[in-house]
Chains A and B, each alone.
Chain A
C-alpha cells in the first residue's frame, strides 16, 4: 500500500470564525478518503480582501505567510472555492513582480485544491456514506465554478448521500451578491442580487440550500432568515460528512 498523502487543511477565516463544524467535516472527508490531515497553526487568511481592495502590498505580505505555513505538504485543501482559487489562480499573478516568490507561489498553487474537487478529482472518491433526509438545491459559488471548474464534483458526491434529493434551482450559476466587502460597501445592490437568488431557492422547492463557500452561505442564509424562510442552509461538506449540528443561523448551544 502506498503511503497516505499528507494534506494540510487551509481552514479559511470564515470557517474558523463562524463554522468550525465545516472544518471538522472537511477533516473527516479527507481522512475517509485516505489522507493524513494536518492543520498548520500559523495560518490566518488567504489575503483576498486586501487583494480585491487594491492593497497589493498587504496581500503579498499575507500570501507570504500562507506560502511559509503550507510548505512541504503533498496537498493543501480548503473548504472554499474562493480561498483555494486565490491561492491557485491569483498567487502566481500577485507575485509577478517578484520572481523568486512567484516560483514558490506557483509551486503552492500546483498542489492546492478546493475540498470537494480534491476528493473527486485527486482522491477519486466516488461516494460517501452519509445520510441526509431532505430535498437540497446547490448554489455554484463563482470562484469555485469559474476559476476552478467545480461543478459536477459536488453533485456527484451528493448523489450518493442516502435520503437526499437534489433539485436544481434556476440560475444556480449566477452570483449571490456576496462579493466579500462588496456586500457591505454596496449593501443595497448586494441585497437586490441575493433577493433574486433566494427567490430562485424558494421556487426550487428544496428545503435545504447547499454551497461550498461560507461567504455565499452567510449571505444567502442571512437573507432567508430575515425573510422568515425556513430553508436550512449548510456547507456541502457538512452534508457529505454526515455532520448534523444546527444549520446556519439556527440557535445552538455553541460548539
Chain B
C-alpha cells in the first residue's frame, strides 16, 4: 500500500470536514471504549493478566529464532509448509506462486492486516487472480476501493447509508425495492453475495492472531465465522502472519486471548476462535488440502534489541485507537498507511521509514491514554518521543519550528536571562490584552487563535511580583 502519511495534515483536515465520518466516529466511544471499560471492570485479575501476557511476549521475543524454528518443525510435521519472507515482494510472490500452481481463479480472504501491509489484493488482481474479502468491513471497503480505517473495524468511518449505497451500486442482482435500512438487512445482503464466493474459491487466505510454537497451529478470532469458511472450504489455506505473532504454547495463547477481545470490543471472547493445525488429515471429513504459513519479516527483526522492540508485543486489539483523542477526531485513513492511531504512529515509521511517516509520531498530545489501555503495556508515547528524537537529529522538522524551539531553549537554559525576558513579555502582553482579557489573534499562534481565544496574561510575571512582595514583607 502506498503511504500518504506525509499528507497527514491535509488528510486530517479533509476528515474533520467530512460529516459522515464525524457521525460514524461517535460510535467508537459507545461501541468500543465503554464496552471495554465494562469488560475490564468485570475481571478482577485484569492487571495480573496483563503482567502475564507481557512476560509471555517478552520471552517469545527474546527467543524468537528458537520459537519460530520450533513452530516450523511442527507445521512440517503436521503436513504444512512455512515460507520465510523478508519483505512484501517475497510474500506476494509466494502467495501468487501457490495460487498459480493450484490454477486458482478466485481467492477468499479473512481479515488480515498483513495482507494490507503487503498489498496482496492488488498483486493477485494484477496477475489474474480475483481476491474476495469476506469480513463484512473489509468487503465494504473493498467494493468502495478504500483502505481500512481501523485495524479491527475497517469500515468504522462509514455510516450505514454509505454502505447501503455501495451495495446498490455493486450488487447487480440487488432488487431496488429491497430495504437496506439496518445492519441486519445489510448483513443478509452481504451474506447472500458472499456464500457462492466461499464455495467457488480455490484458495483461502487468512491472517493469524497467534502462531503457536508448541503445536504448529495458527489461531484466528472473528465475530462473523467468515474466517472458518475461508480456510476450510478451498484447496489450500494460506496464513499470512508476521513473525512476532509466535507464542510458545497454547496455554500462552489463551492467556493473551483473555485480554484480546476484552480490549478490542469489550467481549469476553470473540464469537469464533479457530485453531488451525495443518491441512486436512486422512480421517477428516473436510478441510483444506494444503496449509501454508507465509511468515513475514518486513523490517520487524530489525526492531529486536532496539528502543522499538516493545512494539512487537502488540496484539492488534485496537484499544489504543479507540481511546486516542486524535484518532477519534480524524479516523484512520488520515494516517495514510495500514496502521493508524498510536500503534500506527510507532509502527509505521519503523516499517516504512521516518521520512515517509514523519508526521505520525508528532500527531499526539501525549495524553497517555493509549498506554494505559494497552493490554500489552506498550509504552507508546515513549516510543513516539523516540521517533521525534530521531527526526530532530536528522533535521526533519520544519525550519521555522526548529528556529522557534532553538530561540526558546536559548533563554530557557539561561534562567537569569529568561527572567528578564519573561518579565518584559508578561508586561507587554498584559498591557495589550488586559482590556479585553484575551486575544483574538496572535501572530505566532495563528493556528490556535483561528478557532480559540488566547486568555491574556495578568500583566506581571509571578517572579517579579514575588520579589517585590518579599521585599515588602521583610524590609531590610
Residues of chain A having any CB pair with chain B under 8 Å: 11, 13, 15-21, 23-24, 39, 41-45, 47, 49-56, 58, 61-62, 65, 69, 93, 142-143, 146-147, 173-175, 177-194, 196, 218-219, 221-223, 225-226, 233, 245-246, 248-255
Contact A191–B452 (Cβ < 8 Å): yes
Contact A51–B369 (Cβ < 8 Å): no
Q: Is B158 among interface residues, defined by CB-CB distance under 8 A?
A: no
Residues in B neighbouring A223, C-beta threshold 8 A: 451-453
Residues of chain B having any CB pair with chain A under 8 Å: 9, 12-13, 16, 325-326, 329-330, 362-369, 371-372, 382, 385, 387-393, 397, 401, 405-406, 408-409, 411-416, 418-419, 422, 425-426, 429-431, 434-438, 440, 445, 447-463, 465-467
Decide yes or no: A222 and B455 within 8 Å by CB, A20-B461, A142-B365 being known contacts.
yes
Q: Shortest CB–CB separation between residue A142 and chain B, in angstroms?
A: 4
CA–CA, A58 and B404, complex, Å: 13
Contacting residue for A250 out of B366, B382, B437, B467, CB 8 A: B437
Q: Shortest CB–CB separation between residue B30 and chain A, in angstroms?
A: 12
Residues in B neighbouring A180, C-beta threshold 8 A: 365-366
Contact A53–B405 (Cβ < 8 Å): yes
Q: Shortest CB–CB separation between residue B400 and chain A, in angstroms?
A: 11
Of the A-B pairs whose beta carbons lie under 8 Å apart in the complex, a sample of 17, sorted by A's number, is A16-B462, A16-B463, A17-B426, A17-B461, A24-B465, A42-B419, A58-B409, A178-B365, A182-B366, A183-B447, A184-B447, A185-B401, A225-B455, A249-B438, A250-B437, A252-B458, A255-B465
Contact B9–A186 (Cβ < 8 Å): yes
Decide yes or no: A219 and B426 within 8 Å by CB, A54-B385, A188-B16, A189-B12 being known contacts.
no
**In the A-B complex, the 3 residue pairs with the closest CB atoms:** A179-B365, A187-B447, A254-B459
Contact A16–B448 (Cβ < 8 Å): no
Residues in B neighbouring A61, C-beta threshold 8 A: 409, 413
Residues in B neighbouring A191, C-beta threshold 8 A: 450-452
CA–CA, A52 and B382, complex, Å: 9
CB closest residue in chain B, given A145? B368
CA–CA, A248 and B434, complex, Å: 11
Contacting residue for A15 out of B9, B401, B419, B462, CB 8 A: B462
Contact B458–A249 (Cβ < 8 Å): no
Contact B426–A16 (Cβ < 8 Å): yes
Contacting residue for A175 out of B325, B419, B449, CB 8 A: B325
Contact B392–A55 (Cβ < 8 Å): yes
Contact A187–B369 (Cβ < 8 Å): no
Contacting residue for A54 out of B369, B392, B431, B465, CB 8 A: B392
CB closest residue in chain A, given B454? A222
Contact B463–A39 (Cβ < 8 Å): yes
Contact B437–A62 (Cβ < 8 Å): no
Contact B458–A21 (Cβ < 8 Å): yes
Residues in A neighbouring B461, C-beta threshold 8 A: 16-17, 20
Contact A179–B367 (Cβ < 8 Å): yes
Q: Shortest CB–CB separation between residue A85 and chain B, in angstroms?
A: 9
CA–CA, A106 and B432, complex, Å: 42
Q: Shortest CB–CB separation between residue A147 and chain B, in angstroms?
A: 7
CB closest residue in chain B, given A39? B466
Contacting residue for B389 out of A54, A174, A184, CB 8 A: A54
Residues in A neighbouring B388, C-beta threshold 8 A: 52-54
Contact A219–B430 (Cβ < 8 Å): no
Contact A50–B405 (Cβ < 8 Å): yes
Contact B459–A255 (Cβ < 8 Å): yes
Contact B452–A226 (Cβ < 8 Å): yes
Contact A174–B459 (Cβ < 8 Å): no
CB closest residue in chain B, given A251? B437
Q: Shortest CB–CB separation between residue B312 and chain A, in angstroms?
A: 21
Contact A174–B325 (Cβ < 8 Å): yes
CA–CA, A191 and B448, complex, Å: 8
Decide yes or no: A248 and B455 within 8 Å by CB, A49-B408, A50-B409, A54-B389 being known contacts.
yes
Contact A62–B369 (Cβ < 8 Å): no
Decide yes or no: A23 and B452 within 8 Å by CB, A18-B457, A54-B392, A146-B368 being known contacts.
no
CA–CA, A55 and B392, complex, Å: 6
Contact A179–B462 (Cβ < 8 Å): no
Residues in B neighbouring A52, C-beta threshold 8 A: 366, 385, 388
CA–CA, A44 and B421, complex, Å: 11
Contact B363–A11 (Cβ < 8 Å): no
Residues in B neighbouring A221, C-beta threshold 8 A: 453, 455
Q: Shortest CB–CB separation between residue A69 and chain B, in angstroms?
A: 7
Residues in A neighbouring B416, C-beta threshold 8 A: 42
CA–CA, A192 and B328, complex, Å: 10
Residues in A neighbouring B436, C-beta threshold 8 A: 251
CA–CA, A221 and B455, complex, Å: 7
Contact B451–A255 (Cβ < 8 Å): no
Residues in B neighbouring A182, C-beta threshold 8 A: 362-366
Contacting residue for B367 out of A175, A194, A251, CB 8 A: A175
Contact B453–A249 (Cβ < 8 Å): yes
Contact B369–A142 (Cβ < 8 Å): yes
Residues in B neighbouring A18, C-beta threshold 8 A: 426, 455, 457-458
Residues in A neighbouring B411, C-beta threshold 8 A: 44
Starting from the known contacts A45-B412, A54-B392, A146-B372, 18 additional A-B residue pairs (CB-CB under 8 Å) come to: A11-B463, A16-B463, A20-B466, A42-B415, A50-B408, A50-B412, A54-B385, A58-B405, A65-B414, A69-B415, A146-B371, A174-B369, A175-B367, A182-B362, A184-B445, A186-B9, A191-B452, A219-B452
Contacting residue for A17 out of B12, B422, B437, B467, CB 8 A: B422
